[in-house]
Structure formats: structure tokens, C-alpha cells
Chain A
Amino acid sequence: MFSPTSRLAAKRLHGIRRMFLQSPSVSAAAAAAETSRSYSTALNYHIDSPDNNPNMKWEFSANNLEKVKEILSHYPSNYKQSGVIPLLDLAQQQHGGWLPVSAMNEIARIIEVAPIRVYEVATFYSMFNRTKVGKYHLLVCGTTPCMISGSRDIENALLKHLGVKRNEVTKDGLFSIGEMECMGCCVNAPMIAIADYSNGSEGYSYNYYEDVTPKRVIEIVEMLRKGQSPPVGTQNPNRTRGGPEGGNTTLLGEPKPPPCRDLDAC
């Protein structure tokens, strides 16, 4: 059907694109990108499975029902739907880090909206997981500052160490790895956040581990596996919080007050 020349041209074009994709500096990124481009843990539509279907009953625990009441008290009674995000978060903590469709239906019932309005929110935010995650859900920041500082290597190290793909749970159910957008911690890039769902919503924590290296993240994972709690924040012993390595170099004295206009003079 096609003339040989056009086939040749198409082949060349393909070759050129391959070449770009395989240039060494971006090869890791491209490989990661090819495994999965999706930042969310699930597809944008629901497929029934034995542990995730609308017929499953799902309820907030008694403790959490109190919290639900507390959350809803923040909003006027005719704007209950504003509570959708905190409620989804609470449900996710209660349900081991992910939201089955029946949990979303229950929230829709509580805030009196159609279920689809809750699905829309839950699918929009990549922090809501709609498939199973590990007890520790590791989120690697993939946005530019972290990426430049090597977040791809960190993700690859983690994936290799745990022997999983992105958004896949390890056999023992302990870990899963996801990607996230900038978490506002770029000053200590690269960073990962670890959501700890091992103890329900009571023991839930969500911590940042900053200035990580491929070696360090594996140490962190191993500590978690042993039940220890690695120190949160920057992992660089020479830094305090967002401060520079080796102590402050600027702003050493009292800062000068800003020059103020004499308002009375005008």
C-alpha cells in the first residue's frame, strides 16, 4: 500500500525518536515513564473485584464516626459536600490506605451528593488510592526540583530493592511505591513521603524524609520493616531543617527592619 520510500521515511523517523528516547541522560526517566505514566494508583474507572465492589458494606468505625461529625461541624449544614476531602482521607486511613468504591458511596450518602461527585474528587487527587497499597505507602516526589536532584534514581532504587513495579504492593503487603507531585519541600530535594497505614486512622502518620539518597531510602525501608521509626525530616546530618549544610551563612545578625514610609508626613 505504501511506497517503499515512504516506508523508509517512516522507519527513519521512528529511529530518530528512539534515539532521543535512549539518550543516556534521560534513559532512566524514559524507562520509568514507560512502566507507568499514571500518578494515581488505579484506573479512572472501577472494575468490580471480590474486595472492591458496590455491594460490599462499608461503614466508618464508631471512633471515626465521631470524627466525621467533627469534620462536618466545620461546614454549614447546606454545604456538607465541602467535607468530601477530609472524609475521604479519614476513610482511607481506616481502610488501610485505600478507598474501595463502597467507602466512596458511603461518603456520598453522608454528605448527600450523588456518588459520582465523590468519585470525581477521589480520582482527581493522586493521594487517594483506589487500589490496595502497602502498610507503608512510599511516595516519591517526581516534580522538577526533586527530579533534577535525582528522584528517578531514588524511585528506581526503591523499586529494585522491593522488587515491585510502581503502585504494586510487595508480597508481604508492607510496602508500595507511588509517585507524587511537588510536596513543597523542594529546598531539601529529593524527598519522599511515607504514609503509614499500619495502625488504622489512630496510628496514621504521614512523614517527609528529605535529602534522601538511593542508599538512605533503602535504610529507611529496612528500618520500617523492623518496626523502627527512622528520623523524619532531612536525612543529611549536616543540615538542620531547611537550613544550609554546615550552619547558616547569611542572615547572621538581626535583620534590619523594613524601611517604612512616614504616613503622617503625607
Chain B
Amino acid sequence: MSFLRALRRVHPLIRANFSNSRVTSRWISSTPDLHNPEAAAAAVPEPEFRPRTPVGGARIEIQNPDDSVEVFVDGYPVKLPKGMTVMQACELAGVDIPRFCYHSRLSIAGNCRMCLVEVEKSPKPVASCAMPVAPGMKIKTDTPIAKKAREGVMEFLLMNHPLDCPICDQGGECDLQDQSMVFGSDRGRFTEMKRSVVDKNLGPLVKTVMTRCIQCTRCVRFASEVAGVQDLGMLGRGSGEEIGTYVEKLMTSELSGNVIDICPVGALTSKPFAFKARNWELKGTESIDVTDAVGSNIRIDSRGPEVMRILPRLNEDINEEWISDKTRFCYDGLKRQRLNDPMIRDHDGKFKPVTWRDALAIVAEVAHGVNPDEIVGIAGQLSDAESMIALKDFLNRMGSNNVMCEGNGLNPQADIRSSFLLNSNIAGLENADLFLIVGSQPRVEAPLVNARIQKTVRATQAKVAYIGPPANFNYDHEHIGTGPQTLLDIAEGRHPFCSAILSAKKPAIIVGAGLFGRKDKDAIVAAVETISKLGGVTRPGWNGLNYLLLNAAQASALDLGLVSSPDVIRSAKFVYLMGADDANLDDLPKDAFVLYQGHHGDRGVYRANVIFPSSAFSEKEGTYENTEGCAQWTIPAVPTVGDSRDDWKIVRALSEVAGVRLPYDSLMAVRARLSRVAPNLLNVDARERSTISEELRPEFKQKLSMAPFGAAVENFYMTDSITRSSKIMAQCSSTLLKK
């Protein structure tokens, strides 16, 4: 009885919690409760329309109430701004409308007709994706007319569809399959021959089975609107219609893999993933991409210990719902060239596997045998913040402060965060109306930042000026110079571009991190800052002076203060390469001892004396800060290979063997340490506004050299140890980059 009383006490509370959802009607109450007059009185008669959950978390902001209209979806009233479509109204009302051609990020085509709904007083069903709402519209989505329309459309779509789901890679995640289950008929009436279409060769990434195509034109719109390459088109007409390039042509876009996701059927599928797995066998892990500094949100699909594919995850502020081909297809690099065991180089130059105990002991001994300032630590471009702080702490305890991160160049500026971040944020670039790109080729350095610029240029005709070597852009741009001379001309007001920047409302400057390696970096930055002052690029409410970083570790390395200059390598005797494959070791004395800690037998191991195997980004929990200064976490998707360990754990173990024990034993403890050095790294998914304070900038004594800017990324498909080990990326570079 006491239980019942307790139940009665919590009951109203639970009701309140659930009153918004359908659970209300499912509430089962015990009989004594019904006889309770109090409860009976408290029971409110159900409102006629319970608030509904919009599809996919859709929400709208009505800015001007005068400009909004009210429509009724199956009798349920929805208010939304004028100009929105019937489909959007339905989504707000929680009714999911079947669709094929409509995609929220592409223009509306209205050619699949799957989204037909009935609208009162309209003589025939209307395509809801293309029909704007009108005041008082009465939309009906579950009437016999709507159902029949969908069934009819479905029958037509399936008429020429091969129905080869059992051998189709899209099976299980196919819109056509799902929607035909729900809306289709259980048999067709089509007895003629089905049409067949020649498959097209779109390159090593996208497999085509064009007979499956339903002519939704999503891929065509994606290619021209988002990827910015006008390669795909709809050729022919009627039943002969087909998607293609007409002339033999590969799809040369760094975003081409996204057509695999947007194709609602199995016409465009992933070539490397073909026949490898069914999607229901895969385990999805929500993680972060580390192949560039953008930090795209990804889902790593794995089966057992193997990464099977990588898909994008929605993040409006970073990658929207696209990822670059490098992100998507680098995963086979995680299986090749991996370092399994700790190894020591023999007298005859061969590596021989040893136990962790021996390896650590040898390294600790060597480290103690050199002068503290002859110890140098270099973090690689895939390092997470945890391992970098561990490396720094370890070296500091050994008495050295020579820690750096590759790619940050000479004399890195780490005190002012705004001097190395993309200050206007990736999404913020959409507000800019003028871009000055200095020494950066965003298309290969950060394809998704480039996609934003492309989107902005497409939407607002924003002007783009570019200073740097001849480069490939997929939007209109003006190549105004190749080197610092042009910068000087603009800074001194001699260049025609000055008037453009002065008249711009929200100008944005993007400086490539490739320039960080130049000797005259400070002078270049000073010139850029002069331009920025001149053009009002930074002003209250708008900071358009951006630095576009190249790799995933750079931002957090600067935040953590891994800022020594690469010159220290000249006198180094002990070099700790933590995944650093691109560090320039030419100046390293011959007798220096090199410890390479990393996951791939890549460039770094050529010079190594001892190898520590560590885990890759797909196997560890790590914090990465992207080029906007937004920290994000990777989540382990698969187990590590062989005897490898997380980077920070190795450093921690080594510190103990070397007698300078680091005070953290768990990830939480490392993160606590991180929070003391750079608290923003624990503020996941947040962007902290950096202050603009040029006065704090230290004096510099460099002269601007007149050497033209170079390209920072030579081969988009191979930039780090993972992508260099990937066969797919190798194929891409050989087929797509050939001139």
C-alpha cells in the first residue's frame, strides 16, 4: 500500500514530464488511481491537437510576424514565414513527407513527384517540396488521394528500376527501398522490357550503376552547387534520360564522395566499399576527422576490428553534411603500414621487435645521457592535445623546453589566439562579402572551408581576390598577385584592390598556414594586419582576419605552447618524434638519437633508432582543436593494433621509467592538466571569441622577402601518414591529379 501511495505521489510529476509526447495516451495507471477523485479531477481533458515533434528537429524563427502564414497540416495549425514550402510546413507539423529529389541543401528541382500531397481546393495533388505555402492552406497528407498519388509515383519509379537490391550496396540504407516498403504497392503492372543505361566512369571513388538511377538530379545539383564543378548533367529525355558527363570525364572534385550519400538509390555508391559489408553489420562511432584542420564531424563505421567506411555527420558550423574525399576514403590507410610492436634498430640497420619494457628502458637511458637542451620534441600533425601536453610536460621535466609541432614554422605566435585562428569561424564566412586569400589554396588545404566560400560566392556574388601561386578554384576569383609585393601594394594603398576592400561591408582575409614556414612570416603578417586595419577587416562584431591552418594538431599545439623554433634541431642529440613525419630533419646531427612514436611506418621511421607504436585517431579518445579554435573529441571506433598504446600513455610510461613521473594516470587527469594550460580545450564544441589586440604583438625585425608564395599542399590526397599509406588515396592521386 505504501508503494501505491508513493506511486500516486510521483504520478503527476511523470505526467508532466511526458505530457508533451505520445506516451501520455499510453500511460497505464493502476485501478485504485482511477477511483481516486483527486486524480480524476486533475486529469485535464486532452487538447484536440497535442503539440507535435517536428521531423528531424526542424524549427523556424519567425522574424516578422506580419510575414508569416498559418496553414493546416491534417488539421493541425502551423505558423511559418511566407515563402516556405508545403513540405516544410508538414515537417514542422511532424509529418514526414516521402521524397527523392528534394534535399535541404540543394536547389529545388521538383522532378520526382514523390512528395505529392493533397491540398484542399487544388484540383490535383501538389508537389509539396516546390509549392510555397499560402495563407489558410489546408494540407492533407494521409488522404486516399495522397496515398494513391504516392503509390502511383512509386510504381512509375520502379518501372525502370532493376530491383536488384540483393546485389546493391545501397540495400538497407536506400530511400527507394524504404519508401517503396511504406508507400509502394506490393506488385507492379509493368511487363515490358526495362530500360538499361550504360555505367559511367566517375573515377576511383564513385561506383556507378546507372540503371538504378531514378533521375532525381541530386547529384547534378550537388556537383554544380556545392562541389562547384560542372561535370555532371542530365542527358537525353523521357525514358532515355540518363545522368552522365557526355564526354568521358572523371569527376574532379575533392567533395565528389558526397554524391554517394545524396544519391537516394544505389546508382552512385562507394567504389572502395563495394561489396565489402552491409550497413546493418556496421557499428557507427561518432568521431572527428583529423586529415585537415577543419575537424569535420564523421561517423566511423566499423565491423569488428576493421574500419569499413567513414561517413559525414551533420554539423552546421563546420562541415554541414559534407566531408572531403580525403576524409571519407583515407580509412584503408589505417590498415596498412601499421607499427605493431616497439622496435629498436640493430647494428645492421634493421628494426627488431622488443618488449615495451626494454624499449622504454633504452630510450630513458639515452635521454638521460644527453644535455637537457639537446632534447627536442616534435609533435606530428595528427597529434591530439592530450599527447602534446604529455610530451611537453615530459620534456619540461627532463629539463628541455624544445617542443614544437610540425607545420607551425619559425617563431610561432601563440600568445594571441586570434593570430592563428579562423576568427570569423567557418560558418561566419558566409557573411563575408569580399575575400582576400593570401598564400592559401583552400580547395586543397581545407575543402570544406572552400565549400563555404563557394557557397557564399554563389549566393551573394561575393568577390574573391587571391594572392599566391596559380591555383585551382571552383568559383570566380581574381588572381591579383603571386607574392608579398602585391601585399605591400595593397597595404600602401597603391593597388586597385584597395577600393574594393574599402567599400566592402564585411571583408574577410584568409591567410594560409603554409606561410608560417617562411622566414619573413612576421613581416607578411604585419603587412596583412596593415591591410586589415586599412580595410576595417576587424571591427566590433566582425573579425574577418583569418588564418587557415593546415593540420589537426596545429591549433591545440599553439594553445598548449609548443612553440619552440625548428632551429633547435641543429644541436639536438635526442629527438622525440611524436608522429612527426614531415619535420625537416636535414639539419639534425648525424649522431642524434631519434625516437619515433607513431602509428604508421611513414617518413618518420627512416631516421628512427627506436619506434614506439601508438594508436591512430580511430582508436583513441583525443581532443583536437580545429582551425576555428573549436575543440572536439574523437571516440575510439576500433581496437588498437598489435602492442600499440595511446600516445599520452606511452609518454607517461616513459616518464616513469626515466624517473620523472608525470602526475596523471587517467584520461581525466590528463584533461584536468589540459584545463590548466588551455581551458578552452575542454570546452568541447564551443568557440571562444578571441580578442583582437595588436598592441601585444612583439616587435619583429624581419625584412619582407619578395619570393612568391608557394603551395602548401602539393597532393591533396596524400598529406599525412594515414593518407600516404592509403591505396585509395594513391589511386586518386594517380588518376585525378594527372595533368
Contact = CB atoms under 8 A, between A and B. Distances in A.
Nearest to B230: A114
B interface majority secondary structure: loop
Given A46-B247, A46-B248, A54-B247, A116 B230 contact: yes
Contacts, number: 55
Contacts of A120: 233-235
B233 A119 contact: yes
A216 interface: no
A116 B246 contact: yes
B233 A116 contact: yes
A44 B191 contact: no
A119 B246 contact: yes
A123 B235 contact: yes
Interface stretch (B56-64, B168-176, B236-244): B236-244
B235 A45 contact: yes
Interface string B243-265: 01111100000000000000000
A117 B220 CA distance: 11
A124 B231 contact: no
Nearest to B192: A17
Contacts of B241: 44
B131 interface: no
A38 interface: yes
B232 interface: yes
Contacts of B235: 44-45, 119-120, 123-124
B108 interface: no
Given A44-B242, A44-B244, A45-B198, A123 B230 contact: no
Contact of B231 (A43, A101, A116): A116
Contacts of B231: 114, 116
Nearest to B191: A17
A40 interface: yes
Given A17-B191, A38-B240, A40-B240, A45 B233 contact: no
B228 to A, nearest CB: 11
A45 B246 contact: yes
A245 B242 CA distance: 45
Contacts of B242: 44-45
B211 to A, nearest CB: 13
Most chain A CB within 10 A, of B230, B240, B245, B247, is at: B247
A38 B238 CA distance: 10
B696 to A, nearest CB: 47
A53 B583 CA distance: 47
A163 to B, nearest CB: 27
Interface string A104-141: 00000000011111011001100000000000000000
B331 to A, nearest CB: 31
B226 to A, nearest CB: 15
A101 B247 CA distance: 8
Contacts of B200: 45
Contacts of A123: 235-237, 246
Contacts of A124: 235-237
Nearest to B242: A44
Contacts of B240: 38, 40, 44
Contacts of B248: 46, 48
A45 B246 CA distance: 4
A17 B190 CA distance: 12
B230 A117 contact: yes
Contacts of B237: 123-124
A56 to B, nearest CB: 12
Interface string B199-238: 0100000000000000000000000100000111111110
B233 A117 contact: yes
Nearest to B200: A45
A105 B519 CA distance: 46
B232 A116 contact: yes
Nearest to A120: B233
Contacts of A44: 235-236, 240-242, 244, 246
A262 B166 CA distance: 72
Contacts of A117: 230, 233
A46 B200 CA distance: 11
Contact of B236 (A40, A48, A54): A40
Contacts of A40: 236, 240
Contacts of A17: 191
A30 B577 CA distance: 75
B195 to A, nearest CB: 9
Nearest to B223: A116
A54 B245 CA distance: 13
Contacts of B236: 40, 44, 123-124
Nearest to A47: B248
Contacts of B198: 43, 45
B355 to A, nearest CB: 58
Contacts of A54: 247
Contacts of B233: 116-117, 119-120
A123 B246 CA distance: 9
Interface in A183-220: none
Contacts of A113: 230
A45 B230 contact: no
A120 B198 CA distance: 17
B556 to A, nearest CB: 41
Nearest to A13: B191
B505 to A, nearest CB: 23
A119 B237 CA distance: 12
Contacts of A114: 224, 230-231
A45 B231 CA distance: 13
A263 B241 CA distance: 52
Interface string B271-310: 0000000000000000000000000000000000000000
Interface in A37-96: 38, 40, 43-46, 48, 54
A115 B232 CA distance: 10
A131 to B, nearest CB: 14
A175 B95 CA distance: 58
A78 to B, nearest CB: 11
B576 to A, nearest CB: 51
B246 A46 contact: yes
A175 B248 CA distance: 30
A254 B232 CA distance: 58
Contacts of B232: 116
Contacts of A43: 198
Most chain A CB within 10 A, of B198, B236, B240, B245, is at: B236
Nearest to B246: A119
A117 B231 CA distance: 9
A117 B233 CA distance: 7
Contacts of A45: 198, 200, 235, 242, 244-247
A23 B248 CA distance: 43
A124 B215 CA distance: 14
Contacts of B191: 17
Nearest to B234: A120
Interface in A154-196: none
A16 B242 CA distance: 31
Interface in A232-262: none
A121 to B, nearest CB: 10
Nearest to A43: B198
B196 to A, nearest CB: 12
A86 to B, nearest CB: 19
B482 to A, nearest CB: 26
A106 B382 CA distance: 47
9 closest residue pairs by CB, A with B = A114-B230, A116-B233, A119-B246, A44-B236, A123-B235, A44-B235, A120-B233, A123-B236, A124-B237
Given A40-B240, A44-B235, A116-B233, 18 more contacts: A40-B236, A43-B198, A44-B236, A44-B244, A44-B246, A45-B198, A45-B247, A46-B246, A48-B248, A101-B246, A114-B224, A114-B230, A115-B246, A117-B233, A119-B235, A119-B247, A124-B235, A124-B236
Interface of B: 191, 198, 200, 224, 230-237, 240-242, 244-248
9 contacts: A38-B240, A44-B240, A44-B242, A44-B244, A45-B198, A113-B230, A119-B247, A120-B235, A124-B236
